[in-house]
């Protein structure tokens, strides 16, 4: 069995609402008739598997993926007005639940969360898990420029820990993207930077220390922090500011975080496996985005010079345990 934990789908009711009423997201057709969703710093081209379960299943079967854990992608819901964000999250999560109910052997899902209203986000996570049967929630890496370690987001972390479900950390328009407007540098560079910024603030602020039962899955192999691990440890030893809220090195907390495998580079993947251990890596494809790679995501793992048992853990067992499948 292969379980892909990083892929994206737009439920119909969510997408219909984006087209019907303009908010943070701007939806339009280009000269080729393609549906584009614009948001700050980037855009998505909506293709068949974003909206068609039939096309998605065809691709899954073609590339040997048994289960997709569906998530909403950018622009998500957290930058809309609170009322609209709550409504969009409910539409998306109800849509996910319908898909899972029809084909639970092929699909599971993580809830969209209206993080601009943290109390409502905690309530929606609870509704999605307990009433709809979803397996956790998705955190975007910042909430309209607010970092995730602010105290106001604690209700979401408390709810996830109480429900014993994971939160999937996915990038959105970066907090700092002033020079990334050209060359598609927001998705190429900014997403990884913002993911790591969110992770490191959660570490150094003591948020992960205060929530020891929180299960966090960071997308794209955690962003850019795998390249910075030595600098993080050195900085912790050198700077008193790094010890303001934690007494153990950042590596202690980084090793608690799961990451997905969609990184495109075997050397970086091997380095992360050596650091985090195979039990903290799950399969990811980023399907069906332009730089998604479902065609190679399984082979990227099976080609590694590791044991068959370790490959099995990455391909499905870690995700199955994390999601209680």
Residue range of the domain that includes 198: 3-323
Check whether 25 has a pLDDT greater than 90. Answer: no
What is the total count of domains within the chain?
Answer: 1
pTM of the shown model = 0.94
Q: How confident is the model at residue 155 (pLDDT cuts 50, 70, 90)?
A: very high
DSSP secondary structure letter of residue 24? S
| Closest C-alpha among 219, 229, 168 to residue 192 | 219
pLDDT at 277: 95
**7-16 residue pLDDT tens:** 999 999 999 9
**159-181 residue pLDDT tens:** 999 999 999 999 998 898 788 88
Phi, psi for 96 (deg, rounded to 5)? -60, -45
Q: How confident is the model at residue 139 (pLDDT cuts 50, 70, 90)?
A: very high
- Of residues 158 and 191, more confidently modeled: 158
**238-284 residue pLDDT tens:** 999 999 999 999 999 999 999 999 998 899 999 999 999 999 999 99
- Of residues 42 and 161, more confidently modeled: 161
* CA dihedral sign of residues 162, 151, 144, 79: positive
Cβ neighbour number for residue 247 with a 10 Å cutoff? 8
Who contacts 161 (Cβ-Cβ below 8 Å, separation ≥6)?
Answer: 211, 213, 214, 215
**288-323 residue pLDDT tens:** 998 899 999 999 999 999 999 999 999 999 999 999
Q: How confident is the model at residue 57 (pLDDT cuts 50, 70, 90)?
A: very high
**198-237 residue pLDDT tens:** 999 999 999 999 999 999 999 999 999 888 999 999 999 9
Q: Taking a C-beta distance cutoff of 8 angstroms, is the pair 140, 112 a contact?
A: no
Q: Taking a C-beta distance cutoff of 8 angstroms, is the pair 258, 322 a contact?
A: yes
DSSP string, 143-171: ETTEETTSGGGHHHHHHHHHHT-EEEEE-
**59-79 residue pLDDT tens:** 999 999 999 999 999 999 999
Share of the chain above pLDDT 70, in %: 100
Report CA-CA distances (Å) from 232 to 142, 210, 224.
21, 20, 12
Give the domain CATH number at 116: 3.20.20.140
pLDDT at 291: 87
Who contacts 150 (Cβ-Cβ below 8 Å, separation ≥6)?
Answer: none
Q: Taking a C-beta distance cutoff of 8 angstroms, is the pair 157, 187 a contact?
A: no
């Amino acid at each position: 069995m292969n379980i892909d934990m990083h892929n994206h789908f737009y439920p119909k009711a969510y997408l219909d609402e984006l087209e019907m009423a303009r908010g943070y997201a701007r939806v339009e057709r280009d000269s080729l008739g393609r549906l584009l969703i614009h948001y700050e710093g980037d855009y998505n081209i909506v293709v068949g598997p974003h909206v068609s379960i039939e096309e998605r299943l065809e691709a899954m079967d073609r590339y040997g993926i048994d289960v997709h854990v569906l998530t909403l992608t950018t622009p998500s819901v957290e930058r809309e007005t609170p009322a609209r964000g709550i409504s969009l999250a409910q539409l998306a999560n109800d849509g996910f639940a319908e898909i899972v109910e029809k084909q639970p052997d092929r699909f599971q899902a993580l809830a969209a969360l209206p993080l601009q209203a943290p109390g409502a986000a905690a309530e929606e996570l609870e509704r999605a898990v307990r009433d709809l049967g979803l397996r956790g929630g998705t955190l975007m890496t910042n909430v309209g420029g607010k970092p995730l370690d602010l105290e106001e987001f604690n209700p979401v972390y408390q709810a996830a820990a109480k429900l014993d479900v994971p939160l999937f950390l996915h990038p959105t328009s970066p907090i700092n993207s002033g020079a990334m407007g050209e060359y598609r540098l927001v998705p190429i560079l900014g997403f990884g930077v913002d993911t790591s910024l969110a992770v490191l603030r959660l570490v150094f602020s003591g948020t992960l220390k205060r929530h020891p039962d929180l299960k966090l899955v960071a997308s794209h192999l955690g962003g850019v922090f795998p390249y910075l691990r030595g600098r993080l440890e050195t900085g912790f030893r050198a700077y008193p500011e790094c010890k303001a809220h934690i007494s153990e090195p950042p590596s202690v907390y980084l090793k608690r975080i799961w990451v997905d495998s969609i990184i495109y580079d075997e050397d970086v993947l091997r380095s992360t496996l050596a650091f985090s251990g195979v039990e903290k890596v799950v399969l990811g494809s980023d399907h069906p985005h332009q730089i998604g790679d479902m065609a190679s995501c399984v082979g990227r793992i099976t080609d590694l010079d590791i044991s068959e048992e370790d490959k099995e853990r990455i391909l499905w067992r870690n995700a199955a345990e994390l999601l209680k499948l």
